[in-house]
Homo-oligomer: A and B are copies of this chain.
């Protein structure tokens, strides 16, 4: 265990998500000393659980860094959480009597963007289970999409999975074209026709997103149905990118689980305009903590 210099503060970056909470601890110079994971931290799915996960992740990150637990109250925390753009949710979490030195709260999108660009005035498109566009210019946030399953999030993994299921069910009735997705989905789900319905009925969007790799594979093998899904999804992401580029961000990055496979399907102009992400959202959370701390010092 390293000795913690008395009175010195540390930064903690929190990237909260629906399945897990990531924490990174850094020294005053920004050097990452340790990191850890804890349980779900999406306040839209439960505030209590979120606060519990944040504190657990913080304690584990200190342990990973070899710092004593007593450092907890010297942590300057930056946390990116879904849903805190809703004033009511922002207030509930701000009112938390946390054990830290300070807690600076922002959205998951803002820390993702900060992490991807290491600067404030960037833009990101997140394409994972869902899809969403975000740009920050002149200190203001702009959001595009991210309306959720099943009515939004075109081009996301869950959307691709839903479109694939729709196409396979239409084909099973001979009311839509045959597709190789019928066989690949039958292999993955061990189900056909009404069996697919029994398997997927009421499932979370993340279950649909598991089918997205099958859509990529089918499209890459030339299947017209999968090609149509991927072309439609990519057209939406390209259109979203053009909207974001109109704000003239310093950089634009495509991030999330679908990003890498999706890029070849985007409009060439859009693909060319993309920058490689510099770091993950945890980086952004640390940067946010540091920036807010410095602002507080100079205020």
Partner of A144, one of B144, B165, B175, B243: B175
Given contacts A144-B173, A174-B243, A175-B144, A197 and B152 within 8 Å (CB-CB): yes
Please tell me if A31 contacts chain B, counting CB pairs below 8 Å.
no
- Give the distance to chain B from A88, nearest Cβ to Cβ, in Å: 11
- Bound Cα distance from A147 to B201, whole angstroms: 9
Question: Please, which residues of chain B bring their CB within 8 A of the CB of A90?
Answer: none
Best-buried of A147, A174, A236 by chain B (most CB within 10 Å): A147
Q: Inside 8 A of A196's CB, which chain B residues have their CB?
A: 147
Number of copies of chain A assembled together: 2
Chain B residues within an 8 Å CB radius of A243:
173-175
Closest residue to A166 on the B side, CB-wise?
B151
- Fill in one digit per residue for A134-163: 1 if any B CB lies within 8 Å of its CB, else 0: 000000000011011011101000000010
Q: Which of A150, A169, A173 has the most CB of B within 10 A?
A: A173
Hey, which chain B residues are within 8 Å of A165, CB to CB?
A: 151
Q: Tell whether A145 pairs with B175 under 8 Å between CB atoms, given A152-B169, A166-B151, A166-B152.
A: yes
Within A14-62, the residues touching B (CB, 8 Å) are none
Tell me the minimal C-beta distance from A43 to chain B in angstroms. Answer: 14
Tell me whether B200 and A151 are in contact (CB under 8 A).
yes
Measured CA separation A240–B170 after assembly (Å): 11
Q: Is the CB of A148 within 8 A of B240?
A: no
> What are 25 A-B pairs with beta-carbon distances under 8 A?
A144-B173, A144-B175, A145-B175, A147-B194, A147-B197, A148-B197, A148-B201, A150-B150, A150-B162, A151-B162, A151-B165, A151-B166, A151-B197, A151-B200, A152-B166, A152-B169, A152-B197, A154-B170, A173-B240, A173-B243, A174-B243, A175-B236, A175-B239, A175-B240, A175-B243
Given contacts A145-B175, A152-B166, A175-B240, 13 further A-B contacts (CB under 8 A): A147-B169, A148-B201, A150-B150, A150-B162, A151-B162, A151-B165, A151-B197, A151-B200, A152-B169, A173-B243, A174-B243, A175-B236, A175-B243
